[in-house]
Amino acid sequence: MKRRFLYITGIFSSLVTAVLTVFGFVATNRLMYVKMKDPDMVMEREIVAKRFDEKWYETVRKEELWIDSPNGYPLKAIFLKPLQTDQTVIICHGVTENKINSMRYARLFERLGFNSVVYDHRRHGDSGGKTTSFGYYEKSDLQAVIQLIREKIGPQALLGTHGESMGAATTILYAGTYVDVADFHIVDCPFSDFTEQVLHVLRMETPLRSTMALRIASLFLKMRDGYTLNLVSPREVIGHVHKPMLFIHSLEDEFILPYMTQELYEAKEGEKMLKLFEKGAHAKSFNDNPVEYEKTVKDFLRLYNFAE
């Protein structure tokens, strides 16, 4: 009887282990290898919406850059130089997008007197890298980009960043982790904590409600990609961000909820500004409010003497 009990217990334990292992691999695959948007689709979408001007891009003065990531792969960047100025903004796109999505902001900053750098995050566009880490490895990639551009434009030139969604979270993680050599940051719809964000998405898209699923996924993520979910938390580092920061979000955003930006704004000490748009789904504040968005950025730059 005892042997039979041990046999049944062993089978049950093996089945549970197998199920948890399968779940762990499936969950981490969805994170590490999140499906990218088709580059041709992104290009066509931006052209049709008149956010990407092919003629402008073909004729604008620019420099293609390959930047060595400290994580061991090349990052593709384009330094757009429509103006005779050293003032520069580095633009970080969101997850599944690529540098073409950043061109809309390059044109905005051109109108405000800045050249810009657009680049592909790891595993996006033309950059290398095998996995997406939602800011964990991307923050040191951004540090490498910022350091190179700072060397190019000089220590006295004005340098800022603009990040959207994952790019916004990456910007905060960079500014709160490393010695920040940029002068200001603009973050559009960042998540404040990746664990909470993943749980929110799970509850939207699956019947899973328990945090146990997150603990399993985090364990497998540590084994497979070297970090845990709780290490991707802008909320934990925002207190170390000392440069002026503009926070932007749309109240209609159901993917990354607006309270996350409000939470980050309240936790940020020192110079800061907050703009919540009434209209706009996730990462669409600029698309749906282009005039007011540009005015908001201009007001922020003027407030802290980064523009006339």
Question: CA 141 to CA 135: how far, in whole Å?
Answer: 9
- Environment class of 283 (CB within 10 Å of its CB; exposed 0-12, middle 13-18, buried 19+): buried
How many other CB atoms are found less than 10 A from the CB of residue 237? 17
Question: CA 101 to CA 92: how far, in whole Å?
Answer: 9
Query: Contact, 127 vs 93, CB < 8 A?
Result: no
224/136 same-domain check? no
Query: pTM of the full predicted structure?
Result: 0.92
Q: Are strands 184-188 and 115-119 parallel, antiparallel or unpaired?
A: unpaired
Question: CA 295 to CA 116: how far, in whole Å?
Answer: 18
47/180 same-domain check? yes
How many domains in the chain? 2
pLDDT recorded at residue 204: 83
pLDDT recorded at residue 12: 41
110/142 same-domain check? yes
Question: CA 159 to CA 171: how far, in whole Å?
Answer: 13
158 within a domain of the structure (yes/no): yes
- Mean pLDDT for each 10-residue chunk of the chain (308 residues)? 51 43 68 95 97 97 98 98 98 98 98 98 98 98 98 98 98 98 98 94 74 84 94 98 98 98 98 98 97 98 92
Structure tokens at 278: 């009434």
91/14 same-domain check? no
73/213 same-domain check? no
Q: Which structural domain, as residue segments, surrounds residue 221? A: 1-32+199-231
Which residue type, as a one-letter code, is found at position 147? Q
Question: CA 244 to CA 185: how far, in whole Å?
Answer: 6
28/81 same-domain check? no
125/272 same-domain check? yes
pLDDT recorded at residue 5: 46
161/223 same-domain check? no
Q: Looking at residue 61, which CATH number applies to its domain?
A: 3.40.50.1820
264 within a domain of the structure (yes/no): yes
Q: Residue 184: which H helix or E strand, with range?
A: strand 184-188
pLDDT recorded at residue 46: 97
